[in-house]
Amino acid sequence: MIKFKIEDKEYKVPDFISVEHYSKIYKIKDLFSDDYFAARLMNIISEAPIEDLLESDYQEVSYLAAYVMSLIPMDKVEFKDRFELDGVHYGFFPNWKDMTFAEFVDMDTISTKKPDELLDMLHILAAVMFRPIIEEKSEHDFKIEKYNVDSMIERSELFKKKLDVRYVLGAQTFFTKFGNRFSSYSLLSSIPKLSTWTKIKLVWSMRKMIWEIVFKRRTVGTLSSTELLQTILRSTNLSIKKN
């Protein structure tokens, strides 16, 4: 953590970008000139008054802004299936075949929002995807808390302030890869005679079938997101051919 002073008042710059900070930064990235953006960026991260930052030493503000920018994930983020926050261990869906319809709908609803709306809901998406681990056999073999909207909302506020956004972006990367490839394999879009609701039910049934095939084979060992994606796609392709 970096600390700096303006007129004897100390401010702190965290060593990671929280979900809330990421959302605010992303919204202003194209709105300001480079010089003003640096001050606005530091205002978001440290809560130092924008007026004081604009009157501060140019090189110091630019240096601090460059440090903050180095913390912002710019490329694809590695997927992590667990993390610890305030002494609590949280895990990503360990067994997709048991995903409830409520979980699927909430996550899908948030993920399909417009970009600005999605930014404001990243912490909620994270709270749906990651929940407290209640039982574990090994690092990647665990059970998480049953989905509950009330506890999810409370958890989302914690994630908003304290969770490193890399965990959320890593999970989104995983879903984006899966979603894009799944769409290319799916034949539902080429069957216009089916009603929308029928298509939804078919997709839901197919996904549950795929997840059951994949996770019945789950082992205690580490499974990378790429390996997992490839397994899901092989199962998807096989299922479609059979159908």
Report the percent of the chain where pLDDT is more than 70: 67
Domain final residue pick, 25, 52, 71:
71
Residue 179, pLDDT above cutoff 70: no
Please, which pLDDT band fits residue 100 given cuts at 50, 70 and 90? Answer: confident
Residues 6+ apart with CB under 8 A from 24: 44
Compute the average pLDDT of residues 160-167: 95
Q: Are residues 140 and 217 in the same domain?
A: yes
Q: Are residues 200 and 117 in the same domain?
A: yes
12 part of a folded domain? yes
Q: Are residues 45 and 96 in the same domain?
A: no
Q: Are residues 182 and 236 in the same domain?
A: yes
Q: Are residues 237 and 155 in the same domain?
A: yes
For the record, the structure tokens of 135 come out as 């039982």
Please give the tally of structural domains in the chain: 2
Instruction: Tell me the per-residue pLDDT of 189-206, one tens digit each, with 9 for 90 and over.
Output: 444 554 544 544 444 444
Residue 176 pLDDT: 58
Residue 241 pLDDT: 52
Residue 51, pLDDT above cutoff 80: yes
Task: Quote the pTM value.
Answer: 0.70
Most confident of 61-75, 103-117, 192-206: 61-75
Residue 204 pLDDT: 47
Please, which pLDDT band fits residue 75 given cuts at 50, 70 and 90? Answer: confident
24 part of a folded domain? yes
Q: Are residues 131 and 60 in the same domain?
A: no
Domain final residue pick, 40, 71, 102:
71
77 part of a folded domain? no
Q: Are residues 59 and 161 in the same domain?
A: no
Q: Are strands 141-144 and 130-138 parallel, antiparallel or unpaired?
A: antiparallel
Residue 109, pLDDT above cutoff 90: no
Phi, psi of 55 (to 5 degrees): -95, 0
Q: Are residues 110 and 202 in the same domain?
A: yes
Measured distance CA(124)–CA(152) in Å, rounded: 7
- Which three-class secondary structure string do you get for the chain? CEEEEECCEEEEECCCCEHHHHHHHHHHCCCCCHHHHHHHHHHHHHCCCHHHHHCCCHHHHHHHHHHHHHHCCCCCCCCCCEEEECCEEEEECCCHHHCCHHHHHHHHHHHCCCHHHHHCCHHHHHHHHEEEEEEEEECCEEEECCCCHHHHHHHHHHHHHHCEHHHHHHHHHHHHHHHHHHHHHCCHHHCCCCCHHHHHHHHHHHHHHHHHHHHCCCCCCCCCHHHHHHHHHHHHHHHHHHC
Residue 36 pLDDT: 84
76 part of a folded domain? no
pLDDT: is 73 or 108 the higher one? 73
Per the structure, the complete domain to which residue 38 belongs is given by: 2-71
Domain final residue pick, 20, 44, 71:
71
pLDDT: is 153 or 179 the higher one? 153
Q: Are residues 101 and 203 in the same domain?
A: yes
Please, which pLDDT band fits residue 178 given cuts at 50, 70 and 90? Answer: low
Q: Are residues 7 and 62 in the same domain?
A: yes
pLDDT: is 137 or 182 the higher one? 137
